[in-house]
């Protein structure tokens, strides 16, 4: 373990911007992808239900 | 349309090549891969931040490696898988193969962007620059454009079967970029360092650092499978609208 | 020829074309996408004349000298065969160290001194804790000592 305290941990030896910038963007984009996957699925199901209601061939 | 059949060991493997039987199968697999991804990611982050020591040259900035290298590996690997399915679809004319290729592209593009982004944030403090046009960085950027090109081409052609074929040709042509990315650090003088982990030599990393990186790579792998399976189900719903089995769903 | 055979032929032909194109691109890359030149290449006049280019190599140990103004730094880049002196004004990257890799952009002056406009550190692919690095260096020093004192009795030799 290379950290004496939590503030030590967050400081990342002076590289906080670079390290946390990498991790934050990664987490954010993966979260965004997961949300978009859900939206796409719901939209596809809704279109399917609408088509069924309109008697689509 | 008659489906081709491939019977090995009394099982017709093409059964699962039909969207109808694959849709529930994929749905059942997603939670397993998603939970595996979450667990591996938690373990990888723990090892990466609390077990792995400081690096002798780079200090703490090297901890970007736990995202950067898995993302870069996935960016290349997902492209190969995508091109494989596109190629299978082109040769055997199976709809589901093309759908798999479509479902893999956005996740592949995401990891390519993350590899570039984290590489840039890593390069600034260590190399002294956000970006250089060396062979490794340039070929990885080309990979991002290949993913974008594949998605744009398929979206631009209205007839889905023609879109599938055009996309597949583009995907297969782009495969040449993968060995170029991988070997760029050996073939040319690059600012990017060589590989720390390769099949031909012992890794040049401390064991705990390597463990953290491999755990994160496995997590990225599981996540990609879960995300792609989830997306392929949406693609099936979008493209098989009007099929009898979907109307019964 | 059935439709499938035709398709396979088309894919095969396409792949062959791709291989051909790749070969051409690679050979073009080989000539133009050289990120840096080594000091030996510069000495052999393989680097472009009259325009900026990059040289890459190791920062020669003991060559780094900072001027009193705090901005200008002199150092030498070597590939262990040829040494090129460099002068640079500006901020150096964190990993700029003596004995480590460096890539620097600039022009070769008429006096043979490379006038650098940008200095980048090229680090290696080895990751290890500082203690392991110290242990490695100590072991290497011990080996070198042992090599120098091979004629003296083995008591002075390696002890692990």
Per-residue pLDDT of chain B (249 residues; tens, 9 = 90+): 444 555 555 556 566 678 888 899 999 999 999 999 999 999 999 999 999 998 888 889 999 999 999 999 999 999 999 999 999 999 998 889 999 999 999 999 999 999 999 999 999 998 888 988 888 888 898 899 889 989 988 888 888 898 999 999 999 989 989 998 998 888 877 888 888 877 677 778 888 999 999 999 999 999 999 999 999 999 999 988 877 777 766
Residue B19 domain-assigned (yes or no): no
Is there a single domain that holds both residue C94 and residue C27?
no
pLDDT digits (tens, 9 = 90+) for C22-69: 666 666 666 556 678 889 888 888 887 777 888 889 999 888 988 888
Give the CATH number of the domain where residue C52 resides.
2.40.50.140
Q: Does A48 touch chain B (CB under 8 A)?
A: yes
Within 8 A by CB and 6+ apart from C80, the residues are C58
Residue B56 domain-assigned (yes or no): no
Residue A4 domain-assigned (yes or no): no
Residue A19 domain-assigned (yes or no): no
Q: Find, among C54, C145, A2, C49, the residue nearest to B189 by Cα.
A: C54
Q: What does the DSSP assignment read for C34-75? A: ---B-HHHHHTT-SPSSS-EEEEEEEPTT--EE-TTSSEEEE
Is there a single domain that holds both residue C61 and residue C104?
yes
Is there a single domain that holds both residue C71 and residue C17?
no
Contact between C103 and C122 under an 8 Å Cβ cutoff? The reply is yes
Residue A40 domain-assigned (yes or no): yes
Domain assignment of residue A42, given as a range: 28-57
Residue A54 domain-assigned (yes or no): yes
Instruction: Give the confidence band of C16 by pLDDT, cuts at 50, 70, 90.
Output: confident
Which residue among A13, A23, A33 sits closest to B227, beta carbon to beta carbon?
A33
Rounded Cα distance, A39 and A47, in Å = 12
Residue B201 domain-assigned (yes or no): yes
Residue B142 domain-assigned (yes or no): yes
Residue C26 domain-assigned (yes or no): yes
Is there a single domain that holds both residue C105 and residue C53?
yes
Contact between C106 and C119 under an 8 Å Cβ cutoff? The reply is no
ipTM of the complex: 0.89
- Say whether pLDDT at C154 is over 50: no
Contact between B231 and B108 under an 8 Å Cβ cutoff? The reply is no
Residue C109 domain-assigned (yes or no): yes
**Using the 8-state DSSP alphabet, how is residue B60 labeled?**
G
Is there a single domain that holds both residue C115 and residue C49?
yes
Residue B1 domain-assigned (yes or no): no
- Say whether pLDDT at C10 is over 80: no
Domain assignment of residue C6, given as a range: 1-33
Do the chains contact at B54 and A18, CB–CB below 8 Å?
A: no
Residue B21 domain-assigned (yes or no): no
Rounded Cα distance, C101 and C59, in Å = 6
Within 8 A by CB and 6+ apart from C58, the residues are C77, C78, C79, C80, C99, C100, C101, C102
Is there a single domain that holds both residue C89 and residue C105?
yes
Do the chains contact at B196 and C126, CB–CB below 8 Å?
A: yes
Which residue among C4, C29, C123 sits closest to B193, beta carbon to beta carbon?
C123
Residue A41 domain-assigned (yes or no): yes
Give the residue from chain B lying closest to A20, CA to CA.
Answer: B64
The pTM assigned to this predicted structure is: 0.84
Domain assignment of residue B68, given as a range: 28-50+62-236
Do the chains contact at B49 and A9, CB–CB below 8 Å?
A: yes
Backbone angle region of C46, left / alpha / beta, with phi > 0 → left and psi within -120 to 50 → alpha = alpha
Residue C145 domain-assigned (yes or no): no
Structural domains in chain C (count)? 2
Q: Find, among B105, B108, B231, the residue nearest to B164 by Cα.
A: B105
pLDDT digits (tens, 9 = 90+) for B28-77: 999 999 999 999 999 999 999 999 998 888 889 999 999 999 999 999 99
Structural domains in chain A (count)? 1
Q: Which of B48, B64, B117 to mutate to test the interface with A (most CBs of A within 10 A)?
A: B64
Is there a single domain that holds both residue C51 and residue C78?
yes
Three-state helix/strand/coil letters over C106-154: EEECCCCCEEEEEEEEECCCCECCHHHHHHHHHHHHHHHHHHHCCCCCH
Which residue among C38, C95, C127 sits closest to B196, beta carbon to beta carbon?
C127
């Amino acid at each position: 373990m290379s950290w004496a305290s939590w503030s030590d941990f967050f400081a990342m030896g002076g590289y906080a911007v670079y390290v946390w910038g990498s991790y934050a963007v990664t987490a954010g984009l993966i979260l965004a992808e997961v949300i978009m996957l859900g939206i796409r699925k719901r939209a596809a199901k809704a279109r399917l239900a609408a088509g069924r209601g309109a008697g689509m061939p | 349309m008659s489906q081709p059949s491939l019977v090995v060991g009394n099982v017709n493997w093409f059964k699962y090549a039909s969207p109808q039987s694959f849709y529930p199968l994929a749905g059942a697999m997603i939670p397993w891969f998603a939970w595996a991804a979450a667990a591996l990611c938690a373990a990888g982050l723990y090892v990466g931040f609390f077990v792995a020591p400081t690096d002798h040259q780079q200090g703490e900035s090297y901890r970007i490696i736990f995202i950067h290298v898995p993302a870069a590996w996935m960016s290349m690997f997902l492209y190969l898988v995508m091109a494989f399915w596109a190629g299978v679809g082109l040769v055997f004319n199976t709809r589901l193969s093309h759908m798999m290729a479509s479902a893999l592209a956005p996740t592949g593009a995401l990891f390519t962007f993350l590899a570039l982004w984290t590489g840039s944030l890593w390069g600034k403090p260590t190399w002294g620059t956000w970006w250089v046009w060396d062979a490794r960085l340039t070929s990885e950027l080309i990979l991002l454009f290949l993913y974008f090109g594949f998605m744009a081409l398929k979206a631009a052609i209205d007839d889905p079967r023609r879109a599938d074929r055009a996309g597949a040709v583009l995907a297969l042509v782009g495969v040449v970029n993968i060995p170029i990315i991988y070997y760029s650090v050996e073939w040319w003088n690059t600012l990017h360092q060589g590989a720390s982990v390769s099949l031909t030599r012992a890794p040049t990393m401390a064991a705990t650092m390597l463990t953290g990186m491999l755990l994160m790579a496995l997590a990225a792998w599981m996540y990609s499978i879960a995300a792609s399976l989830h997306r392929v189900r949406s693609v099936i719903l979008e493209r098989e609208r009007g099929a009898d089995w979907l109307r019964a769903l | 020829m059935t439709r499938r055979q035709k398709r396979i032929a088309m894919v095969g032909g396409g792949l062959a074309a791709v291989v051909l194109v790749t070969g051409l691109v690679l050979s073009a890359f080989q000539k133009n996408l050289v990120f840096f030149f080594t000091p030996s290449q510069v000495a052999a006049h393989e680097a472009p004349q009259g325009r900026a280019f990059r040289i890459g190599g190791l920062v020669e140990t003991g060559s780094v000298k900072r001027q009193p103004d705090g901005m200008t730094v002199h150092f030498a880049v070597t590939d262990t065969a040829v040494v090129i002196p460099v002068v640079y004004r500006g901020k150096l990257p964190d990993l700029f160290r003596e004995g480590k890799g460096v890539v620097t952009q600039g022009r070769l002056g008429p006096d043979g001194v490379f006038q650098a406009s940008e200095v980048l550190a090229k680090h290696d692919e080895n990751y290890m804790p500082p203690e392991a690095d110290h242990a490695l260096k100590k072991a290497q020093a011990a080996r070198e000592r042992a090599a120098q004192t091979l004629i003296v009795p083995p008591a002075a030799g390696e002890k692990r």
